[in-house]
Structure 1
């Protein structure tokens, strides 16, 4: 049972960790090299990795999506989709797709004269399944070595930790006040039942012993 318990806890941690890693904002320092628009088919299971803004019908199987092409400081390419999130999940309430595309175009630069920018985004990049992170903000920075402190993530994770610890304390208090006394009463009741059963057994054995003794008194008597 110990392995089942730890396996279940590990699965819960993996699911929650993956959810937070996908949903929480991340920051990449990149150089913008281009933008484009392309029609995407959204009829398969990867639809869950694309936005569903309120102003677009959920029945659409394809639509035009804007993309931002970038290159990281180490030379690796990175492509972001640029979609509104609307009032849906994740709750970034992004409605400025056109403005963000304009800002990205304004930050274009060449390898010889690079202009570095930090792209705030959520989601994952998978070339195999054609999944792209969604850019939710972009701004110019001094260089590729600038330090970005993820204050939003820190605050949200601290709040989440406080909530988890509070719930844990409440559950422990509930267990101590409500469950443990019941279990203790049940244990005492069971001990009392066992004691009564042992006493009844002793009484039965005593009666049986006396009965056997009475029968033994008849064995030595002569017949008339």
Structure 2
């Protein structure tokens, strides 16, 4: 029975870790190669429950890492949805990216803040949230926001667990 309990706890921890890894911001240092707009058709249900076709434009930022590996970022507004980045400036970010295009001989390194994962076989792309200049391809980026969020979550879990054990009379 102990194996079932620990397996269940491990699965919950894995799901929470994956959710946090997908939702919290990550930063990459890349050289921007260009931008692109692609049209996407999706079937959605309207209020009457009927399937209707919805067309939308998706912007992409094409980039390369210092070792030459390609990286593609989606550039869509998050609006008021999850994760709560409240991004409403897709067109401005595309213009910023176009302004930062550089060549391999004269690179301009850029820090791309994004969330999400690049899964090639599912054609999913991380969503770019902001761009800022980088000192170079080997600049050290410390994820202070993520450290604070994870520390606050750990403290909340600690205090909730402590309070629950006290209410159950199981505290030491």
Please indicate, yes or no, whether the TM-score normalized by the shorter chain is above 0.5: yes
Distance 2:76 2:115 in 1: 11
5+ long unaligned stretches in structure 2:
45-51
What residue in structure 1 maps to residue 71 of structure 2? 78
Distance 1:24 1:95 in 2: 18
What residue in structure 2 maps to residue 94 of structure 1? 87
Q: Which runs of 4+ in 1 moved over 6 A?
A: none
Instruction: Give 1:175 shift.
Output: 1.2
| 1:11-43 CA distance string (max 9 Å, x none) | 101110110010000000000001010012344
Aligned in 2, Cα 1:91/1:175: closer, same or farther, shift over 3 Å? same
Distance 1:160 1:173 in 2: 20
Residues 99-178 of structure 1: pairs in structure 2 closer than 5 A: 99-176=92-169
| 1:119-174 CA distance string (max 9 Å, x none) | 00000111111101000000111100101111110110011001000101101111
Bigger helix share:
1
Residues 1-224 of structure 1: pairs in structure 2 closer than 5 A: 1-43=1-43, 61-176=54-169
Q: Which has the higher contact order (CA 8 A, sep 6+)?
A: 2
**RMSD over equivalenced CA pairs, Å:** 1.7
Distance 1:88 1:151 in 2: 23
Instruction: Give 1:62 shift.
Output: 3.4
Instruction: Give 1:79 shift.
Output: 0.2
Query: TM-score w.r.t. structure 2 length?
Result: 0.91
Query: TM-score w.r.t. structure 1 length?
Result: 0.70
Aligned in 2, Cα 1:90/1:34: closer, same or farther, shift over 3 Å? same
| 1:53-87 CA distance string (max 9 Å, x none) | xxxxxx66431100000000111100001000001
